[in-house]
Amino acid sequence: MPATDFSTFGRSILSLRRDQQVHSMESGGHEGTSHELELEAFQKQVAERFNDLASADSDQLLSIPWIHKLLEVFLSCQEQFKSVVSKNKGLLNKSPADRYVMEYYERSVKALDVCNAIRDGIELIRQWQKQLEIVYYALDNQRSIGEGQIRRSMKALIDLAIGMIDEKESNSSFAHRNRSFGRNNAQKDNNSLGQFRSLSWSVSRNWSATKQLQAIGQNLVAPKNNEISATNGLATAVFTMSYVLYFVMWTLVAAIPCQDRGLQTHFHVTRQFVWAAPVLTLHDRILEESRKRERKNVCGLLREINKIEMCARHMNELTDTIHFPLSEEKEGEVKQRVQELGIVYYGLKDGLGPLERQVREVFHRIVRSRTEGLDSIG
């Protein structure tokens, strides 16, 4: 028999399926009840976590802190799911449980791509943050607000506006032209669209967030009763976790700019699941948000993006009506808008970094749990 060193080579749960001659199949008796309780607890806790998320008011919903919470929820659900699965290794040997779990892991690979796209999107928002920084730096706490500072801010705001044009409109065809006709065209466009179009996505031009979401949600149907009993309830746990994955990815795509972002995916889940209500509520609220007039063509529903647009608009309105020399009243208005902008700027500055790190963490944990499950299957 192998020495204990080998336990560190990571015998995976699924490897036991093929490679041990004897696996005990007794799961009746007292074990069954505690197993049921555990599955039930999983359902309940998922529901609790989503209820908590759904309790956010309209200002908190889709804000950076709220997205943080959403990702925390995902991580907790996944940890719990992992422990449920690892305690039920024996059951995974039976079909169709193994098929379900495999499907989950395949979905999770697609989620990895979404995480990567979201990381790009956060970087894009960070570019906007930099324009805000210029405005803030130009106008905040200056000896006086002069024409120079105003002009500087206006330029930054124009660059910001250009940068926020919806991906759909300005990315594909335009950048394509840039590439195919060489650099000469870029000359003209450099100080306008060229600047932000250079921030290329790390995914290919063909990649589509919409399609990716559709792939994640494909065949995601609640298990039938016979399937549930055949897998001793595990099918429900797998379905739940898959749904959580799907919903979280969908929300990220809704919130943060990414290539070919679309929210037309469908959510079907019956209310028999105790977590269905809060999830569907959140889904409806987010969809509603996307239908609001001012947010129709926006590149991401993140609350902070809305705030950026708003304070940029206020600033623009203000600077449009500015005449020099500034009246005290006007100067006061400017200071006020600058404060407003400052709050948005700091919110981004403090929030984007940790958010990006957390998205990365989600990525790593998905990989880890998949690797541990798939090691022996290859």
Partner 1 sequence: MAENGEEKLIAVARHIAKTLGHTDTMTDDILQIFSSFDNRFREKLTDDQPLERSLKSLHRQISRHLSAQHPIWSDSADSAAFLDSVDQLLAIIHEWNPMANDKSVSASLDKAEDLLQQAMFRLQDEFTTLMQRASESVDLTRHQNGGDNLGGYYESEEEEEEVDDDDDDDSGEIPIAHPVTDYGILIEALPAGIISDLHEIAKRMVAAGYDKECSHAYSVSRREFLEESLSRLGLQKLSMDQVQKMQWNELEDEIEKWVKAVNVALRILFPSERRLCDRVFFGFNSVSDLSFMEVSRGSTIQLLNFADAVAISSRAPERLFKVLDVYEALRDLMPKFEFMFSDQYCVLLRNEALTIWRRLGEAIRGIFMELENLIRRDPAKTPVPGGGLHPITRYVMNYIRAACRSRITLEQVFKEIIVPSASAVDYREGDDRALSSSSLAVQMAWIMELLESNLETKSKIYKDSALLAVFMMNNERYIVQKVKDSELGLLLGDDWVRKHAAKVKQYHVNYHRSSWSKVSGVLKIDNNAMSSPTGASRSLKEKLKLFNSYFEEICKTQSTWIIFDEQLKEELRISVAGALSPAYRNFIGRLQSNNDSSRHTERHIKFSVEDLEARISELFQGSSGSGGGRK
- Token pair for residue 267? 């959510």
Cα(156)–Cα(327) distance, rounded to whole angstroms?
Answer: 24
Using CB under 8 A, which residues numbered 116 to 145 contact partner 1? 116, 119, 123, 130, 133-134, 137, 143-144
Distance CA 135, CA 138 (A): 5
Query: Binder to partner 1 among 33, 172, 191, 327 (CB under 8 A)?
Result: 191
75 binds partner 1 (CB under 8 A): no
Is the CB of residue 2 less than 8 Å from the CB of residue 364?
A: no
Q: Is the CB of 119 or the CB of 283 nearer to partner 1?
A: 119
Q: Closer to partner 1 by CB, 154 or 277: give it.
A: 154
Q: Is 375 in the site for partner 1 (CB under 8 A)?
A: yes
Report in angstroms how near the CB of residue 324 gets to partner 1 at its nearest.
Answer: 9
Concatenated DSSP letters of 290-345: HHSGGGTT-S---HHHHHHHHHHHHHHHHHHT--SSPPHHHHHHHHHHHHHHHHHH
| CA distance between the termini of the chain | 24
Question: 3 vs 225, which CB is nearer to partner 1?
Answer: 3
Binding characters for partner 1, 348-367, by CB under 8 A (x = yes)? ---------x--x---x--x
Question: x/- binding map, residues 196-215, to partner 1, per CB under 8 A?
Answer: --xxxxxxxx-x----x--x
Picking from 196, 162, 135, the residue whose alpha carbon sits closest to that of residue 319 is 135
Name, in order, each residue with C-beta under 8 angstroms of 171's C-beta and a sequence gap of 6 or more. Answer: 197, 259
Q: Does 323 bind partner 1 (CB under 8 A)?
A: no
Binding status of residue 151 toward partner 1 by CB under 8 A:
yes
- Site size for partner 1 (CB under 8 A): 62
Q: Residue with structure tokens 């505690």?
A: 34
Cα separation, 362 vs 78, in Å, equals 10
Q: Is 287 in the site for partner 1 (CB under 8 A)?
A: no
Which residue of 87, 89, 94, 152 would you call a contact of partner 1, by CB under 8 A? Answer: 152
- DSSP code for 222: P
**Which of 212/306 has CB closer to partner 1?**
212
Q: Does 3 bind partner 1 (CB under 8 A)?
A: yes
Given 43, 45, 170, 195, the residue binding partner 1 (CB under 8 A): 195
Rounded alpha-carbon distances, angstroms, from residue 191 to 136, 187, 333, 335: 21, 8, 30, 28
Other CB atoms within a 10 A radius of the CB of residue 274 amount to: 17
The interface with partner 1 within residues 40-69 (CB under 8 A) comprises: none
Least spacing, CB of residue 3 vs partner 1, in Å: 8
- The CB-of-268 to partner 1 minimum distance in angstroms stands at 23
Q: Does 261 help bind partner 1 (rule: CB under 8 A)? A: no
Selected range binding partner 1 among 181-189, 219-227, 315-323, 341-349, rule: CB under 8 A? 181-189
Stretch that binds partner 1, among 5-13, 81-89, 304-312, 315-323 (CB under 8 A): 5-13
Q: Does 221 bind partner 1 (CB under 8 A)?
A: no
Is 89 a residue that touches partner 1 (CB under 8 A)? no
3-state secondary structure labels for all residues of 58-117: CCCCCCHHHHHHHHHHHHHHHHHHHHHHHCCHHHHCCCCHHHHHHHHHHHHHHHHHHHHH
Task: Tell me the longest C-alpha to C-alpha distance in the chain.
Answer: 89
Q: With b meaning 16 or more CB within 10 Å and e meaning fewer, what string describes 321-332?
A: ebeeebeeebee
CB of 70 to partner 1, least distance (A): 21
Q: How far is CA 29 from CA 34, 36, 91, 256, in A?
A: 9, 11, 15, 49
Between 10 and 39, how does the x/- string for binding to partner 1 read (CB under 8 A)? xxx--x--xx--------------------
Chain contacts with partner 1 (rule: CB under 8 A): 2-3, 5-6, 8-12, 15, 18-19, 109-110, 112-113, 116, 119, 123, 130, 133-134, 137, 143-144, 146-149, 151-152, 155, 182-184, 186-187, 190-191, 194-195, 198-205, 207, 212, 215, 357, 360, 364, 367, 370-371, 375-378
